[in-house]
Chain A
Amino acid sequence: MTEPIIQCTDVHKWFDHFHALRGVDMEVEKGEVVVIFGPSGSGKSTFIRTLNRLEEHQQGTIIVDGIELTHDVRNIATIRSEIGMVFQSFNLFPHLTVLQNVTLAPIWVRKWPKDKADQVARELLERVGIPEQAEKHPAQLSGGQQQRVAIARALAMQPKIMLFDEPTSALDPEMINEVLLVMTGLARSGITMLVITHEMGFARAVADRMFFFDEGVVVESGSPSDIFDHPKEERTKLFLSQILSH
């Protein structure tokens, strides 16, 4: 049996007096696609942000790819270059072109020569379906296109793990599919993915396991069929009935 690529034990996090994470345990195997869902304020977003230390956990241990997350700056830099992240609001750099957005980190962190970074970036833009937009600025693109650039930007660092924090919830309905399509392709490629989403069709089709978060803890986890067809907890049933009803 292989060692899990993400190993979280009893992770706690407080914002001032608000106890956002109350002992989260999670193990993710290499290549697994994990979907995390739950009501807003349940700590799901905070949790995946602790994995690349955008938030600092205050208790418990997080081990990513064999490295424990501590205050050691070198460890954090290493972890962050191994983990790609896609945000709800895309967060592209508005002063750079699409191509520059994608090549920034490979050039400055991985120290690739510009030609190599450009080539890899163009391949990635091809892969997410927008090779012709390379020279434009983010504001000239639609939301769906921006989110695909954001995915390409994260992939350019050749990460082992991809985190998605509600990647489609800021998008107009007609653009959600183009992003989900790219993510589905990515999931098939064998990269480890943690996805916060309420796109349950996507979850059922792609997820290996699902985690239901509520009030800072994992209420229930299991395969999509476990969760959708035989949920054990009342809270899971209630939440699923609410989001699946429309």
Chain B
Amino acid sequence: MRTGELAAFGPIEQPPPMSVGVIGWLRKNLFSSWFNGLVTLGVGVALYTVGRSLLAWAFSEANWKVVSSNLEILTWGRYPQDQVWRLGVSLAAILGLALATWLARRGQRRARRGLLVAWLLSPFWLAVLLRGLILPTPLTVFNHLGYYLFRPELLSALGVEWRGHVAVLLVGILGGLSWGVGSTRWRVAIGSANVAILALLAPYGVRGREIAPGILLPNLVPIGLLLGVAWVLGRSAFRRVANAIAIPRLLLPAWLLLLPTLIILLTNFDVGVERVAPAAVLPIVEPAIWSGILLTVVLAAVSILASFPIGVLLALGRRSSLPVVKGFCVLLIEVIRGVPLITILFMAQVMLPLFLPTELTLDRVLRAMAGMTLFTAAYLAEIVRGGLQAIRREQYEAARALGLSEALVTGLVILPQALRTVIPPIMGQFVSIFKDTTLVTIVGLLDLLAVAQSVIKQREFLGLVREVYLFAALFYFVVSFAMSRASRRIEGRQGIERTRNLAAE
């Protein structure tokens, strides 16, 4: 008889126990009705059949030597043997950092801040570890900057004299912009900085044009006139736009950048020093030869980490009240979402070079990363937009009424709430892009699956296809599963808060 239910009539002070023992559980969950019982039996038989033959194959027939003897190739592919220690160091560094973060989760604020900086800088030190580093001297940096970023022919086309005019204009506009800001002390500093720069330029102006080979400056009178015009322009521009953007805060960096800019303008990077041979700290391992699990993980990690901020910005941009920003974001999101990832990967290979200066060549891995990042960012943007739409208008009003600026309203009140609600779909998107890294085979990159396919073709292991594919599948499953578990944990932490809140209501 139905002992489980009879036993349920306990004293009323305690909630009645729902079931008794293993048998009670089985009865309640697996065999509660004839239909449920039938389903349980059917699934049980199917699982047994599949599991038995899989296990039988795995432990008797399968030759796992094909995986074990190729483990290195599958893991880091063509990464130079003598440099593999760098992968180990990278992994250890990340695990160490994760451990430290976990230990310091309730620790001092300073320690946590330090860890945050280490995490934020991790793309840089990881790039150095994985790709290698050639330490340039300051002069080579200067020459490279000019060469790669500014294209000497562009500046040359402008003509030395014009560059001088531009320099004076910059000084003047910056001076005019700065005048409206803050205290008298500011004004004195700005005024004297302007006069000093003018004084530096003046002798050249009086003396004439060519002051040194390649360095030429306009005459004093045009300098003065230009400076005046620029001041007026700068001041009126300031009045108009200063309220809208944080010009005062931008001014200090602008002044700091002014000197190098002037030098660049006036010299066109030609400092007249031969390039000094750079010092290699870690030999370069070009990403083009990264392969196997290394490539898969790097591709996934980069596109996940880089797409998140871009996606959030796109989502915010899509809701912007500025039509240009909004239009740009909508266009980007819709175009990318309207194109299959494979197409985007092809486009990234062939189109990206069109938008970049010819001197700057991205290798294929970076191009694939860029494509995958943009792709994920567009989808994240839509997910985050959904989260933003769930925030009630009153939250904006309450935040604005406190005097928070629009940026603070978004950053402190709206985004934190919006992102919390969309953790599950965001993690889903991350899992999806991790699995989609397999598509880079098509543009000639050797990710884990591609390496697996080449392993299969080895003569001594001919015909051992299942083992290799099963290994690859297991790897993808374990990582994806870990990611979705992690997502559950983050959700769970939010959930605890929520149930606690509900319980208190």
Partners in one complex: yes
Per-position binary interface string of chain B over residues 407-433, scored 1 when its CB falls under 8 Å from any chain A CB and 0 otherwise: 010001100110010000000000000
Would you give the shortest CB distance from B296 to chain A, in whole angstroms?
35
Check: B139 CB closer than 8 A to any chain A CB: no
State the CA gap A154–B401 with chains docked (Å): 9
Per-position binary interface string of chain B over residues 242-278, scored 1 when its CB falls under 8 Å from any chain A CB and 0 otherwise: 0110000000000000000000000000000000000
Check: A81 CB closer than 8 A to any chain B CB: yes
> A-B contact count, CB below 8 Å?
74
- Say whether B501 contacts A105, CB under 8 Å: no
Check: A15 CB closer than 8 A to any chain B CB: no
Q: Which residues of B contact A80 (CB under 8 A)?
A: 400-403
Chain A residue at smallest Cβ distance from B505: A139
Given known contacts A80-B400, A139-B505, A140-B501, is B243 in contact with A94 (CB within 8 Å)?
no
State the CA gap A93–B405 with chains docked (Å): 16
Secondary structure at the B interface, as helix, strand, loop or mixed, is helix
Chain B residue at smallest Cβ distance from A74: B243
State which residues 138-167 of A face B: CB under 8 Å. Answer: 139-141, 150, 153-154, 157
Q: Which residues of B contact A136 (CB under 8 A)?
A: 504
Chain B residue at smallest Cβ distance from A55: B397
Chain A residue at smallest Cβ distance from B401: A85
State the CA gap A157–B420 with chains docked (Å): 28
The one of B404, B417, B420, B497 in contact with A105, judged by C-beta atoms closer than 8 angstroms, is B404
- Say whether A139 contacts B403, CB under 8 Å: no
State which residues 29-75 of A face B: CB under 8 Å. Answer: 52, 54, 72-74
Most buried by A among B244, B404, B500: B404
Given known contacts A108-B412, A140-B500, is B404 in contact with A93 (CB within 8 Å)?
no
Q: Which residues of A contact B408 (CB under 8 A)?
A: 108-109
Given known contacts A87-B394, A95-B416, A95-B417, is B504 in contact with A139 (CB within 8 Å)?
yes
Check: A197 CB closer than 8 A to any chain B CB: no
Chain A residue at smallest Cβ distance from B494: A95
State the CA gap A92–B500 with chains docked (Å): 17
Chain A residue at smallest Cβ distance from B242: A74
- Say whether A154 contacts B402, CB under 8 Å: yes
Q: Which residues of B contact A95 (CB under 8 A)?
A: 416-417, 420
Check: A218 CB closer than 8 A to any chain B CB: no
Check: A77 CB closer than 8 A to any chain B CB: yes
Given known contacts A73-B244, A108-B408, is B398 in contact with A91 (CB within 8 Å)?
yes
- Say whether A93 contacts B403, CB under 8 Å: no
Would you give the shortest CB distance from A83 to chain B, in whole angstroms?
7
Would you give the shortest CB distance from A82 to chain B, in whole angstroms?
8
- Say whether B404 contacts A108, CB under 8 Å: yes
Interface residues on B, range: 20 to 34
Check: A204 CB closer than 8 A to any chain B CB: no
State the CA gap A52–B400 with chains docked (Å): 9
Would you give the shortest CB distance from B415 to chain A, in whole angstroms?
10
State which residues 327-352 of B face A: CB under 8 Å. Answer: none
Check: A184 CB closer than 8 A to any chain B CB: no
Check: A196 CB closer than 8 A to any chain B CB: no
Q: Which residues of A contact B243 (CB under 8 A)?
A: 72-74
Check: B399 CB closer than 8 A to any chain A CB: yes
Check: B395 CB closer than 8 A to any chain A CB: yes
Q: Which residues of B contact A54 (CB under 8 A)?
A: 397, 400-401
State the CA gap A52–B399 with chains docked (Å): 12
Chain A residue at smallest Cβ distance from B399: A93
Check: A104 CB closer than 8 A to any chain B CB: yes
Q: Which residues of B contact A137 (CB under 8 A)?
A: 497, 500-501
Q: Which residues of B contact A87 (CB under 8 A)?
A: 394, 397-398, 401
Q: Which residues of A contact B154 (CB under 8 A)?
A: none
- Say whether B417 contacts A104, CB under 8 Å: no
Most buried by A among B398, B400, B416, B502: B398
Q: Which residues of B contact A91 (CB under 8 A)?
A: 394-395, 397-398
State which residues 72-116 of A face B: CB under 8 Å. Answer: 72-74, 77, 80-81, 83-85, 87, 89, 91-95, 104-105, 108-109
- Say whether B401 contacts A83, CB under 8 Å: yes
State the CA gap A91–B398 with chains docked (Å): 6
State which residues 55-111 of B face A: CB under 8 Å. Answer: none
State the CA gap A150–B398 with chains docked (Å): 9
Q: Which residues of B contact A74 (CB under 8 A)?
A: 243
Chain B residue at smallest Cβ distance from A93: B413
Would you give the shortest CB distance from B185 to chain A, in whole angstroms?
20
The one of A83, A94, A139, A140 in contact with B417, judged by C-beta atoms closer than 8 angstroms, is A94
Q: Which residues of B contact A153 (CB under 8 A)?
A: 402
- Say whether A104 contacts B497, CB under 8 Å: no
Given known contacts A91-B394, A95-B417, is B399 in contact with A77 (CB within 8 Å)?
no
Would you give the shortest CB distance from B292 to chain A, in whole angstroms?
41
- CB pairs A–B below 8 angstroms (28 shown): A52-B401, A54-B397, A73-B243, A74-B243, A77-B405, A80-B401, A80-B402, A83-B401, A84-B401, A87-B397, A91-B397, A93-B399, A95-B416, A95-B420, A104-B402, A104-B413, A105-B404, A108-B404, A109-B408, A137-B497, A137-B501, A139-B504, A140-B501, A140-B504, A140-B505, A141-B504, A153-B402, A154-B401
Those 6 A-B pairs whose CB atoms lie nearest each other, nearest first: A81-B403, A139-B501, A91-B398, A140-B504, A105-B402, A85-B401
Residues of B within 8 A of A (CB): 243-244, 394-395, 397-405, 408, 412-413, 416-417, 420, 497-498, 500-502, 504-505
